[in-house]
Structure 1
Amino acid sequence: MASLQELAHQQIASLFAHNTIVTSVVDGQLYDLPCDDTVSLLINLPPRFPDEPPVITVTPTGLRHPWIDADTVMNETLRHWNHQQMNIGQIAADIRDEFAQRPPTKKDEGYGHRPPPPIPTSTTSTPNLSQTPLAMSSFTPNQEYTMIMNKTSAEVEELLSNDLPFEMFFNSLERVKGLKTVQEELMNGNENLAHKNLSREDQLAKLRTDVMNLNDEYRQEKHAFDEKERLQQEAYSRFSSSTVLTRLKASVYESDDLSESVAQSFLDGNLDHDSFVKQFRELRKVYHLRASKLEKAQTNSVFT
C-alpha cells in the first residue's frame, strides 16, 4: 500500500498532467495556477494531504462567484474530498474551465448588468430653484384668474384680440418670470459646463495618445511573452513523463547491448580475461541500475 507521501506525489503529478501552466511556489506545498490574464488559483496542500483536502484560494481578492466564499474556492467536489476517487489536477482544471465560462466579478459589480440608476427621493430639488422668485412667491393658485377678473371687459377683449398686449400681460406674471429665471440659470449652467469640457480637450487628446502608446507597448510585450512561453513549453516537453520514460528504456537496452557485445568480443578472442571482466562488470552494473529504476518507475506509476 502506497505511503501518504507517495500518494501526495501522485496527486501533485496529476496537477501538472491536467494543467499546462503550473508554477511551484513551495515544492510539495504551494502551487500557482493562472486561469486567465487576471485570475489565478493558489493551491495550498496541508501537511496531511491527501488525507486532508487541498485549500484553493483565488487572486485577486474580493471576487464574486457561486464557487467563491471569502476568497476560497469551494465547490461540491472539494466539499466531499476523497483522494481515492479524486485528483487535484482534474479539480483544478474543472475550476479553471468554470471560471473561463463564467468569469468571477468584483463584488461591486453585477454579472453582466449595470447597476440601476438612482431613484429620486422627495428631498431632490431642482438646481437653484429654491432661490427663484417663483419658489419665494406667496401667490395663491388663482392669482392669474384674479388679475384677469380685475380688468375691464375692454382690457380683456384687447388681450384676446391683440397678441402684443397678451404677450406683455403673460410675461408680467410672476410665475412666468420665475420659469424664465430657472431657464436662464439652466442655460448658463449648461454653457459653463460646455466651456469646462472644451477646456479639457487637450488633456483628453493627450490621454488618448498615451493609451494608444501603452496599448502598442502591451502588444509588443505580449508578443515577447508568448514567444518566451512557447520556448519554455518546448523546454518542458524535453522533460515530460513520456520523454523521460522513453529515454530510460532506451538506456536500459543500450547498456544490455553493450555488455553483450563485450561478451561476444571475449568469445571471439578479441579481449583478454582481465579486460573482459572489468568492462563486462561495469556495463552490467549500469544495466542493472537502469533496469531497476525503470521497473520502479513503472511499478509506482511515476510517469503515468
Structure 2
Amino acid sequence: RNTLYPIEEQYLYSCVHSVAEIQKDVEYRIPFTVNNSTISVNILLPQQFPQEKPVVSVYPPVGHHLVDSNNGTMISSPLITNFGMHSDLGKVIQSLLDEFWKSPPALMSSSSAGFPYGLYKPAGIPPYPAQAFHYSPHHVGPGQTPSPGPGPVPAPAPMSHTGVDMVHGPPRAAAPYGLITDLPLPVPTGESQAGLNGHMYKMPEIPETFPELPDMNLNQLSDMSENEDVLLEFFVRLPQFKQVTGDKEELIGSIVDMAKKNLQMEPQLEDKRQEMLNKYEQLTQMKTAFEMKMQRQHELSESCSLSTLQARLKVAAHQAEEESEDTAENFLEGGIEIDEFLTSFMEKRTVRERQRCLCGCKRAERLLLMHSDG
C-alpha cells in the first residue's frame, strides 16, 4: 500500500486546518459549518492510493450538485472522478470546500438518511486488516514525526451497559484497535468538536510528558515496552482515560434516559397524530363543500349576468309582440269583443314596450361597463 506522501499530507493540513486524522494514511475527517449546520467531509484512501482515486463523502446527507443525488453522501465531483497520480489531494479538498461555501448544500430529510459514513464502506474498497493501536501524545501535524506505536493489543471483552437493550441492534464485531475503539470518536486535539448528532465534546488535554515515567527504573520501562499488558495497564490508569470513560458512561446514561422519555411521549404523539389526521379529514370535507358552493355561485352568477338577462328580455318581448299580433288577428276575424280586445291588446303591448325599454337599459349599462374596463 502506498501511503500519503509527506509533502501532500503537509499541504492537506495547511489548506484545511480543521482536518482530523482518524486513521493514519487511511481516513481523514473535516468538519465545517454552513447555515448553522455542521457537516463533515470524510476522506477514505484506498489501498493503492494514489493510483486509485480517494473516496470522499459527506454526512449528514445533503442535496448539492457535487453530491450524488441517489444517497446524498457520495461526492461525485469531476475533481474526484478525474483524480490521478499527479493530482494534489489538498487542492482538491480545498476546492470542494470552497464550492460548498459558495453554494451551501441543503440538508436532506432525516428519514432518507442512511448510516453514517463511519459505518459505510463503498463497494470495491477491500476492508483494511486489523492494525495495532497507535497512540500519539498529541495530534500529528505538518512537520511532525509520529512516535512508533507498541505492538498489537488483544481486544478486550465486549462492554455491557446497564439499561441498553442489545435486542435493538446487532452486536458489534471485535474492534482491531483494542480499548481505543470504545472511546468517543473525536481526535484528542484539546478542542471542542461536534459529533454526528451535534453533541459537543471536549477531549482532555494530553500532556507531552507523563510524570510517572521518570520514577520508573530501566527494568520497568523495558517491561512496558516489551509487554503489551503492562503498557495497557499503565494506559488504563491514566486520568485522561478515566475521564473519557466516565464521560462516555455519562453520555450513554443520558442517551438511555432520553430514549425512555421519547418512549413515554409516544402516546401523546400518537394522540396528536390522530388529531392531525382528523383535522386533515375535516379540512378535506370543508374544501369539497367550498368547491361545490363556488361552482353553484358561478352558475348563479352566469344566469344573472347582463348578457343573459338581455337575451331573456329579448325573447320575452318577442313573445309578447307575437301574442299581441295574435290578439289583433283574432279581433279582426270577429273572435273577440272590442272591450276584451282593447284590454288584452294594450296589456301585451305595454309588456312588450316595457321589456324593450329594459333591454335597452341593460345594453346601455353593458356598454358603459365595457367602456370603463377598456
TM-score by length of 1: 0.50
TM-score by length of 2: 0.41
